Structure 1
Amino acid sequence: MIRVRLRRRRALAAAAGLLFGVLGLLLGPAAPASAHAALVASDPQNGTIVPDAPNRVTLTFSESVQLVEGRIQVLGPDGQRADQGKPQADGGTVTVPLRSGGGRGTYVVSYRVISADSHPIGGSISYSVGEQSTPPVAAGDATGSDPVVRTLISVGKFLGYAGLVLLVGPVLVLALLWPHRLSRRGPARLVYTGIGLVLGSTLLALWLQAPYATGASMFDVGFGDLRDVLGSTFGAVMLVRLGVICAAAVLLRPLLRGGGESKADLALLGALGVAALATWPLSGHPTASPVAGVSVVLDAIHLAAMAVWLGGLLMLLAFLLPQADARELGAILPIWSRWAATAVSALLLAGVVQAMIEVGSLSGLVDTTYGRLILVKVGLAGVVIAVAAVARSVVRKGGVPESPRPLRRLVGVELAVSAVVLAVTAALVQIAPPRTAEAAETAATKNTTVSQTLRNSSMSLQVDIFPASVGNNSVHLYAYTPDNKPLPVVEWTATAALPAKGIEPIEVPLLRITDFHAIGDIALPTAGDWTFKFTLRTSDIDQSTVTMTAKIS
């Protein structure tokens, strides 16, 4: 009897070790940055020189953001704060009011905000009023996060997913497949462990979100920081998860004791399970997808299938195959085989659709590393389904009731191949998807400003060309004296040419805005190194001409 117990414990330990190893492959690289918000535009634009001090700074992000208290500031050339009042966020646009009468020189805008997927992003831009100067240095770092906090967040996510597996799969097996004569003590311990892991990881996530958002250390958290987290979308989703899991723990007691559970209780448990599963995608990257509703549903299906499949395999290896007799296995295994096939199919389908959302095109599927890894993942998933089919045929032939060893070997192969599938998944999250990479490249191109200062003995001309790409472009010209004072200009003329492709000079229509500021628009038909020529007449007899080369992509 003691040897039997030892074998059962060893089987349970081995199965749990394999489960956690597989989850580790899935969750190890749990911090991809491609899905986070990105700064796509600003007013004033980064690195430009404006003639007059603006009354506000506008930052535009690729998705909706939430503000972090006290983490947006504008420093003037003297190193003092140039912003006043509280910044305002409207979707993906953040407006920072400024003090009036700002002096000449370079200003630095530093920011830290929370993306729609609950991840903080930070950075800085600079602009100059009238002339450039030595940029001021901020007292703190708005972009960094404490490495201990980041590590613990990954650990918490791992524990939460592990708890989900230990909770969902065993509960389904106990409710629908468990033989009445077998003790439920071992499975009940798994379920309670899963509940504890989910609750603990959720509380840890709530605590860590505060220093993660502000960039502080783990214990540098104030009451106001926690209040901000609880008042955010992330905090609301985490509180829902806590409530749902606590309610489920109460309803699970009759099932775990054995007998006494009603169909109404089981139906309510199912509804709570769906609600709990939805909290994972609602607090993560799917909310930032271009089709957020579809991505949230797919991610929930993906999690449910994973939890049913891996949790069911754990119950099968640790309890049912060692303890159930031939008659019981003959009834259980065909049903489990169908469950496993359905779960793997759901994993495959949800994963493929999610991948196609990121890939965006058939060429992206076959011509990129990301797309080819998707094809590899699909092929490996096909192998898993084939192994499951072989296991089903073993059951049909009656081999399993006599000895469970052939099935245990097949299940081992199934888990091994699944580990490779999840390893490919881990590689995928490290690679920028074609759609994301293309969108980022387009955004970068659309918001690139070519900025040069052209000088000669009589003047200094600041030239800004935006977005420096094929198509319509805006040209801003600012004229200064050699000692950086505004230079009145009587007449502005400009041309653009591309000699390498035989394009003769094209006139750039210019509109005089102030004595020393003019703007114009020109359509550039092709990419290349364009030559711009500017002539400024400052009196009836005085004029200066300067040229520059700008790369248009």
Structure 2
Amino acid sequence: MARMTFDRRRALAGGFGLLIGLFLVLLGPAAPASAHAALVATDPGNGTIVPDAPNKVTLTFSESVQLVSGKIQVLAPDGSRADQGEPTVDGGTLTIPLRSGGGRGTYLVSFRVISADSHPIGGSITYSVGAASTPPTSTVDDSKVDPVVRALIPVGKYLGYAGLVLLVGPALVLALLWPHRLSRRGPSRVVWTGLGLVGFSTLMAIWLQVPYSIGTGLFDVRVGDLRDVLGSTFGAVMLVRIGVLCAAALLLRPLLKGAGESKTDLALLGVLGVAALATWPLTGHPTASPVAGVSVVVDAIHLAAMSVWLGGLVMLGGFLLRLANERELAAILPIWSRWAATAVTALILAGVVQALIEVASLDGLVNSTYGRLILVKVALAGVVLGVAWFSRRLVRSKQAEASPRGLRRVVWIELAITAVVLGVTAALVQIAPPRTAEAAESAATSSTVSQTVTSSTMALQVDIFPATVGNNSIHLYAYTPDNKPLTVVEWTGTAALESKGIEPIQIPLLRITDFHAVGDIALPSAGQWTFKFTVRTSDIDQETLSMTANIS
């Protein structure tokens, strides 16, 4: 009766840990942004006014991207399509060709692409030709992600991680530590369950990637859209994983039956295991890392160490400590203890390297959702390491052979806590790392100041770049009240910062065309600067227009 009570408590503890982990997974996608690439530059610039219609629009992202069919368009001021032909991608640069002879007014560029780590990124920008007008309305929902799809993606990843734990570690224990006299039926079920979970999570990931990519509902999946996903880098990696799982299933049968598996089969299983583990970082953050090669290897090591350690704990707590005799445990536990120490060391080192690459700064660690989840993961891992140290001490003191029940209890505590750690890990892959947010913020703070000042006889567009302390470029465009280019004979300009006692500084201006002039000026201090421009259009006609701009 006492044993039944303990087993029931153990099951409840493990289940409670799993539920907490799933709860954290479901909370993860509620972060403000799940897209892991940032739009860092556009040409024409967002919100700017250009004198002539461009022949293309260029969008530059912080990492390489892939196209989503039918999700990129440019609308003219009258709502018609201004783009022509197919857009192209070269790394992180998206180029959209435009029709020639575009009319004057405001254009809307809508886009939805897939970032290198398989997450969609969508948005829109505007630019104007000649003068601004009311922007057209986009027919592309460029940023939508169905909430059901968003919630199911981390759940699928959690199932995949759990499958790795039940597959890799138990298979390794069966191959190298399992006593010949013991039945393999129970462990075989664990391994097949792990294989099934990894396979199911892979198929689930492929299906969910379709509505995730194009912004539709869970069951709004067309054959063509599925074909596009399977033809992408994400789809290719998933198909490789399925192929590896099928090959592993054939090689696992002799091992699980105890039918005298060969060393060649075990070596092939090891190779397949490495190939399978590599498919996780190839569809996640590591591929978009500044040091992608290092990140992919480190992430694969992280997953391998986690799978060996936790999978071994499942075998230890679920079978060996219950079924093996004292002599067998005396031989198994010291070996397992060394395995666990090696796996935990690799886990910690790989985790530290990953965090340094993705977080990049102390501010990112403390003030971002991604960084705070890293801290939660580290705290939970610290608790697990404390429990693991206690269990290792039990093994070394030889108390485990005499009383394996106490060690089993410690093992199940480790597994309950690590269920939560897996949940945090599954949440992390859905949240943009701080390096992405910093790239987006940097792009936002380096935008051009663009203003149009008017009088009864003209409109003057002024572009100042980069609008920061130091050297700045100024472009001036003159138009008539009805938005036609205005011929200017002479340009003069000054810049002053009265709040800091800086008297007007002359801006040398060079006439480029009849209605366009450029100049360069060094602004020595931040603040609200006043710019004055005198535009002479004939021997007797001139206007002086002024504006203020914040220089940071």
Question: Is TM-score (shorter-chain normalized) higher than 0.5?
Answer: yes
Equivalent residue, structure 2, for 1:360: 360
Q: CA deviation at 1:219?
A: 2.9
Contact 1:73 1:110 in 2 (8 A): yes
Equivalent residue runs for 1:51-450 within 5 Å: 51-360=51-360, 378=378, 381-415=381-415, 418=418, 435-446=435-446, 448-450=447-449
Relative to structure 1, the CA distance from residue 151 to residue 375 in structure 2 (aligned partners, 3 Å threshold; closer, same or farther) is closer
Equivalent residue, structure 1, for 2:520: 521
Query: Using the alignment, how far apart are the partners of 2:276 and 2:425 within structure 1?
Result: 23
Q: CA deviation at 1:349?
A: 1.0
Contact 2:83 2:97 in 1 (8 A): yes
Q: CA deviation at 1:169?
A: 1.3
Q: CA deviation at 1:375?
A: 6.7
Q: CA deviation at 1:167?
A: 0.6
Moved more, 109-118 or 317-326: 317-326
Query: Using the alignment, how far apart are the partners of 2:438 and 2:118 within structure 1?
Result: 23
Does the residue aligned with 2:280 lie in a helix, a strand or coil? helix
Q: Does 1:538 align with 2:544?
A: no
Relative to structure 1, the CA distance from residue 322 to residue 304 in structure 2 (aligned partners, 3 Å threshold; closer, same or farther) is same
Relative to structure 1, the CA distance from residue 159 to residue 74 in structure 2 (aligned partners, 3 Å threshold; closer, same or farther) is same
Q: CA deviation at 1:502?
A: 3.2
Q: For 1:58-101, what per-residue CA distance to the aligned partner results, in whole angstroms no more than 9, with x for missing partners?
A: 11111111111111111111111111111111111111111111
Query: Using the alignment, how far apart are the partners of 2:366 and 2:63 within structure 1?
Result: 29
Q: Percent identity?
A: 75
Contact 1:475 1:519 in 2 (8 A): yes
2:239 maps to amino acid: L
Q: CA deviation at 1:413?
A: 4.3
Q: Does 1:17 align with 2:37?
A: no
Q: CA deviation at 1:153?
A: 2.1
Moved more, 262-271 or 357-366: 357-366
2:245 maps to amino acid: I
Does the residue aligned with 1:52 lie in a helix, a strand or coil? coil
Query: Using the alignment, how far apart are the partners of 2:430 and 2:150 within structure 1?
Result: 17
Does the residue aligned with 1:138 lie in a helix, a strand or coil? coil
Query: Using the alignment, how far apart are the partners of 1:168 and 1:19 within structure 2?
Result: 21
Relative to structure 1, the CA distance from residue 382 to residue 120 in structure 2 (aligned partners, 3 Å threshold; closer, same or farther) is closer
Q: CA deviation at 1:244?
A: 0.6
- Structure 2 unaligned spans of 5+: none
Contact 2:106 2:134 in 1 (8 A): yes
Q: CA deviation at 1:437?
A: 4.3
Contact 2:40 2:439 in 1 (8 A): no
Equivalent residue runs for 1:443-482 within 5 Å: 443-446=443-446, 448-482=447-481
Relative to structure 1, the CA distance from residue 5 to residue 26 in structure 2 (aligned partners, 3 Å threshold; closer, same or farther) is same
Q: CA deviation at 1:19?
A: 6.6
Q: CA deviation at 1:38?
A: 1.4
Moved more, 37-46 or 144-153: 144-153
2:53 maps to amino acid: A
Query: Using the alignment, how far apart are the partners of 1:301 and 1:15 within structure 2?
Result: 29
Query: Using the alignment, how far apart are the partners of 2:230 and 2:281 within structure 1?
Result: 18
Q: CA deviation at 1:343?
A: 1.8
Q: CA deviation at 1:506?
A: 2.5
Contact 1:348 1:378 in 2 (8 A): no
Q: For 1:284-335, what per-residue CA distance to the aligned partner results, in whole angstroms no more than 9, with x for missing partners?
A: 1110011111111111111111111222212222212222222222222222
Query: Using the alignment, how far apart are the partners of 1:412 and 1:225 within structure 2?
Result: 44
Cα RMSD of the aligned pairs, angstroms, is 2.9
Relative to structure 1, the CA distance from residue 117 to residue 390 in structure 2 (aligned partners, 3 Å threshold; closer, same or farther) is same
Query: Using the alignment, how far apart are the partners of 2:209 and 2:9 within structure 1?
Result: 37
Contact 1:77 1:134 in 2 (8 A): yes
Query: Using the alignment, how far apart are the partners of 1:207 and 1:494 within structure 2?
Result: 60
Q: CA deviation at 1:237?
A: 0.6
Q: CA deviation at 1:128?
A: 1.1
Contact 2:110 2:140 in 1 (8 A): no
Relative to structure 1, the CA distance from residue 336 to residue 42 in structure 2 (aligned partners, 3 Å threshold; closer, same or farther) is same
Query: Using the alignment, how far apart are the partners of 1:53 and 1:77 within structure 2?
Result: 12
Query: Using the alignment, how far apart are the partners of 1:154 and 1:294 within structure 2?
Result: 24
Does the residue aligned with 2:279 lie in a helix, a strand or coil? helix
Query: Using the alignment, how far apart are the partners of 1:428 and 1:469 within structure 2?
Result: 35
Moved more, 508-517 or 256-265: 508-517
Query: Using the alignment, how far apart are the partners of 1:261 and 1:200 within structure 2?
Result: 27
1:477 maps to amino acid: L
Moved more, 80-89 or 515-524: 515-524
Q: For 1:515-537, what per-residue CA distance to the aligned partner results, in whole angstroms no more than 9, with x for missing partners?
A: 22222222333322222121111
Q: CA deviation at 1:339?
A: 1.9
Does the residue aligned with 1:190 lie in a helix, a strand or coil? helix
Contact 2:167 2:192 in 1 (8 A): yes
1:449 maps to amino acid: T
Does the residue aligned with 2:70 lie in a helix, a strand or coil? coil
Relative to structure 1, the CA distance from residue 203 to residue 387 in structure 2 (aligned partners, 3 Å threshold; closer, same or farther) is closer
1:320 maps to amino acid: L
Relative to structure 1, the CA distance from residue 134 to residue 246 in structure 2 (aligned partners, 3 Å threshold; closer, same or farther) is same
Contact 2:50 2:128 in 1 (8 A): yes
Q: CA deviation at 1:115?
A: 0.7
Query: Using the alignment, how far apart are the partners of 1:195 and 1:11 within structure 2?
Result: 28
Contact 2:73 2:81 in 1 (8 A): yes
Q: Whose RCO is larger (CA < 8 A, sep 6+)?
A: 2
1:139 maps to amino acid: T
Query: Using the alignment, how far apart are the partners of 1:174 and 1:10 within structure 2?
Result: 27
Does the residue aligned with 1:329 lie in a helix, a strand or coil? helix
- Structure 1 unaligned spans of 5+: none
Contact 2:298 2:350 in 1 (8 A): yes
Does the residue aligned with 1:250 lie in a helix, a strand or coil? helix
Equivalent residue, structure 2, for 1:497: 496
Query: Using the alignment, how far apart are the partners of 1:308 and 1:202 within structure 2?
Result: 20
1:215 maps to amino acid: G
Relative to structure 1, the CA distance from residue 372 to residue 186 in structure 2 (aligned partners, 3 Å threshold; closer, same or farther) is closer
Relative to structure 1, the CA distance from residue 4 to residue 237 in structure 2 (aligned partners, 3 Å threshold; closer, same or farther) is farther
Query: Using the alignment, how far apart are the partners of 1:444 and 1:56 within structure 2?
Result: 22
Contact 2:38 2:437 in 1 (8 A): no
Q: CA deviation at 1:378?
A: 5.0
1:492 maps to amino acid: W
Moved more, 132-141 or 266-275: 132-141
Query: Using the alignment, how far apart are the partners of 2:93 and 2:111 within structure 1?
Result: 13
Contact 1:370 1:433 in 2 (8 A): yes
Q: CA deviation at 1:380?
A: 5.6
Moved more, 199-208 or 109-118: 199-208
